[in-house]
Structure 1
Amino acid sequence: MKRCEWCNLSEEDKKYLLLDAKYWTVYLADEQDYIGRCIIVLKRHCGSLSELKDDEWMELFLLIKKYEKCIKAVFNAEHFNWSCLMNSFYKSPEPCPHMHIHVRPRYKNPVVINGNTYVDSNFGHHYSRGRSEQMCSKEDVQTIYGLLKKWLNS
């Protein structure tokens, strides 16, 4: 679909590809306001969870298990916030929704990356969007990506 941003990702947008499965791709979000935050995107155009096929659901389930295990092993996440809101697609007069899921790992304890300490100050509460005070440097994002990619491909 020409108007769909997920169907038309640039190579720059794909630079943080973590996993490429049969039905889904997993990208590390370039904004790391929660360490390990990622986006899981369905490879075909689809506007709702209710439109997923059985094979897509099964693969999503397996990806969820794998990603949670990875983040717990690499960064000691306590739990995860999963969201499939898709509200921004409906701002357009001609909506073009595409199934994707945001994953925000949550941390009881601080996470240290390259000597920088990141604290989940809202732990135990709903996540906050755009926590600029907790945004990782480009170097730290690269480190996060490298550690996760290594674990996921081992």
Structure 2
Amino acid sequence: MVSSLSYLRSRKYAVQREISSCHDRVAELEEKIARLKEAIQKLSTVLSDIDSIKSSINQLTINATNWRGENEKEFDTNYDQYKDSIESYVKDTEDAKDIMNDDIRRYEAKRDALLIRISNLESELSSINVQIRREMREDD
């Protein structure tokens, strides 16, 4: 019976270590999720700011009297480059947000799986504790 009790105590210690390890991993995942959500919020703010600036620039009206000697073709070329650059930046930023949202979903799924694992381990630990008490009573 001593070897059985020894085994149960060893098993109890291993389960407790596993629970602790799972809690640590859950905390790490929650930290990653929080950082990603904060980054997404900042990107959303940047995109909103860019949209406001883009809107005000797009509403500019330039006519022949506004050029005052400037080359209209040069303006059109620069303006087209600006539009392409902004569109590319917005697309890349939105893609980055999508990737971060995918990462959040993946981390949340891992966290949820770990929480289920913790629950199962806690049930196992309760069972082991019952077995240990039973073994200790039988030794008396």
Bigger helix share: 2
Bigger strand share: 1
Q: Which has the higher contact order (CA 8 A, sep 6+)?
A: 2
TM-score higher than 0.5 here?
no
- TM value normalised by structure 2: 0.25
Work out which of the two has the higher radius of gyration on C-alpha atoms and give 1 or 2: 2
- TM value normalised by structure 1: 0.23
